[in-house]
Copies of this chain bind each other. A is one copy, B any other.
Amino acid sequence: MNALPQASDGAAQNRRVNIQDVAREAGVSVSAVSKVLRDAYGVSPAMRTKVTAAIDSLGYRPHAGARGMRGRSYTLGMVTRELSSPLQAEIAGAFGLALDGTSYQGILIATDINMGSQRRAIEALLDRQVDGLMLIAPWMPHEAIDVFARRTPLVAIARTGEPDSYDTICDDGRTGSRLMVDHLAELGHTRIAHITAGSGGFVAPHVLSHVARREAYESRMRELGLTPHVVTATFDEKGGYEAAQQLLDADEPPSAIYAGADIAALGVLRAAKERGLSVPDELTVTGFDNAFISSVTGVELTTIDQSALEAGTVAARLLLERLNGRTEAVHHLTEARLVVRRTSGPPPT
Residues of chain A touching chain B, judged by Cβ–Cβ distance below 8 Å, are 61-69, 73, 75, 82-84, 86, 89-90, 92-93, 96, 105-111, 123-124, 126-129, 237, 266, 269-270, 272-273, 292-293, 296-300
Task: Judge whether A124 and B109 touch: CB under 8 Å.
Answer: no
Q: A65-B68, A107-B108 are in contact. List 9 more A-B contacts (CB 8 A).
A: A64-B127, A64-B129, A89-B89, A105-B128, A108-B109, A128-B128, A269-B296, A269-B297, A298-B299
**Closest B-chain residue to A61, C-beta based?**
B127
In the assembled complex, the CB of A114 is this many whole angstroms from the nearest CB of chain B, namely 11
Most buried by B among A86, A109, A127, A266: A127
A232 to chain B, nearest CB (A): 22
Bound-complex Cα distance A96 to B109 (A): 8
Alpha-carbon distance between A73 and B65 when the two chains are bound, in angstroms: 9
Query: In the complex, which residue of chain B has the Cβ closest to the Cβ of A300?
Result: B298
* Nearest CB of chain B from residue A17's CB, rounded to whole Å: 12
**Contact (Cβ within 8 A) A61 B109:** no
Complex CA–CA separation, A157 to B93 (angstroms): 20
Shortest CB distance A234–B (Å): 16
A selection of 7 A-B contacts at a CB cut-off of 8 Å is A64-B65, A65-B68, A69-B69, A82-B93, A83-B90, A83-B92, A107-B128
Most buried by B among A108, A266, A292: A108
Chain B residues in 8 Å Cβ range of A126: 61
Query: A84, A123, A299 — which one has the most chain B CB atoms within 10 A of its CB?
Result: A84
Are A124 and B110 in contact, CB atoms less than 8 angstroms apart?
no
Measured between alpha carbons, how far is A299 from B294 in the docked complex, in Å?
11
Beyond A64-B127, A69-B65, A82-B93, whether A237 also contacts B109 by CB under 8 A is no
Determine if A108 and B105 form an interchain contact, defined as CB atoms under 8 angstroms apart.
no
Name the one of B67, B106, B123 contacting A109, with C-beta atoms under 8 angstroms.
Answer: B106
Cα distance, A84 to B296, chains bound together (Å): 13
Which one of A68, A84, A110, A297 has the greatest number of beta carbons of chain B within 10 Å?
A: A297
- Chain B residue with minimal CB distance to A105? B124
Q: Would A84 and B75 count as touching, CB distance under 8 A?
A: no
Question: A270: which B residues are within 8 A, CB to CB?
Answer: 296-297
- Interchain nearest-CB distance for A153 vs B (Å): 16
**Top-8 shortest CB links A-B:** A65-B65, A83-B89, A298-B298, A65-B68, A270-B297, A269-B297, A107-B107, A64-B128
Q: Which of chain B's residues have a CB closer than 8 A to the CB of A299? A: 296-299
Please state if B266 and A123 are interface contacts (CB–CB under 8 Å). no
Check B266–A297 contact: CB distance below 8 A. yes
Question: Which chain B residue lies CB-closest to A89?
Answer: B83
Residues B110 and A92 in contact, CB atoms below 8 Å apart: yes
Q: How far is the CA of A280 from the CA of B67 in the complex (A)?
A: 58
CA distance in complex: A107, B124 (Å)? 10
Contacts of A298 on B, CB cut-off 8 Å? 269, 273, 296, 298-300
